[in-house]
């Protein structure tokens, strides 16, 4: 299995130890050719506007959208969730692959970043220390979207078929449960 890490910008390197512990050698994806060789893709946290710009400049936006539409399992983490979202701050999303609407930096600026305990029954995790860094808030979930975890009442870990998104950063915890689950999709 070839798990890709979108390596244009952001915290993609933090996923590598998790994937290796899961027995997977990750592939850093920086062009359309590498994108064509993977079986699934993690879009990491980072700056969604910068990632979007690089996806355009490197000719990857359409190939990525085509692969996701064709069934490529993809996991968007924070900024990755923003890129996958159908609507962002009231405007059309970049990939628009996930029928959700979200608001960027909804919980505040960098200084408001925090760790919150959340329960994730799907992964048998209780009081999991979810790290939120300038996190987006999912305001609406569309048909077929399953909410796996919430922060207060806000969805923070969702999935529709082969696409999953988390508004927090599981790669910053030592637990490999999220990566194992993603690999199993």
Mean pLDDT of 109-135: 89
Report the CATH number that the domain containing residue 168 is assigned in CATH.
Answer: 3.40.50.880
- Average pLDDT, rounded, for the chain: 95
- Quote the number of domains for the chain: 1
Residue 119: its pLDDT value, please?
A: 97
**Is the whole model's pTM more than 0.85, yes or no?**
yes
pLDDT bracket for residue 106 (50, 70, 90): confident
Residue 159: its pLDDT value, please?
A: 98
**Active-site residue list:** 78, 169, 171
C-alpha–C-alpha distance, residues 155 and 67, integer Å: 26
The domain in which residue 36 lies consists of 3-184
C-alpha–C-alpha distance, residues 31 and 26, integer Å: 15
C-alpha–C-alpha distance, residues 160 and 70, integer Å: 14
* Element spanning 10, H or E: none
Residue 105: its pLDDT value, please?
A: 86
Q: What is the DSSP string of 100-112?
A: EEEETTTT-SGGG
98 has which bridge partners? 85
State what percent of residues in the chain have pLDDT above 70. 97
Q: Mean pLDDT check: name the lowest of 8-17, 37-46, 102-111, 129-138.
A: 102-111
* Residue 113 pLDDT > 80: no
pLDDT bracket for residue 153 (50, 70, 90): very high
pLDDT bracket for residue 109 (50, 70, 90): low
* Residue 46 pLDDT > 70: yes
């Amino acid at each position: 299995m070839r798990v890709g890490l979108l390596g244009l910008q952001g915290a993609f390197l933090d996923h590598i130890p998790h994937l290796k512990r899961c027995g997977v050698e990750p592939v850093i994806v920086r062009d359309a050719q590498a994108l064509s060789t993977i079986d699934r893709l993690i879009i990491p946290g980072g700056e969604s506007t910068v990632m979007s710009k690089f996806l355009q400049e490197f000719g990857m936006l359409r190939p990525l959208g085509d692969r996701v539409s064709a069934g490529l399992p993809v996991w968007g983490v924070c900024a990755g969730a923003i890129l996958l979202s159908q609507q962002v701050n009231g405007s059309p999303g970049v990939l628009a692959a996930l029928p959700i609407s979200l608001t960027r930096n909804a919980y505040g600026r960098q200084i408001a970043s925090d760790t919150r305990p959340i329960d994730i029954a799907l992964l048998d995790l209780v009081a999991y220390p979810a790290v939120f860094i300038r996190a987006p808030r999912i305001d609406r979930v569309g048909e077929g979207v399953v909410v796996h975890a919430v922060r207060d009442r806000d969805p923070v870990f969702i999935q529709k078929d082969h696409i999953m998104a988390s508004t927090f950063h599981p790669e910053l915890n030592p637990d490999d449960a999220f990566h194992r689950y993603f690999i199993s999709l």
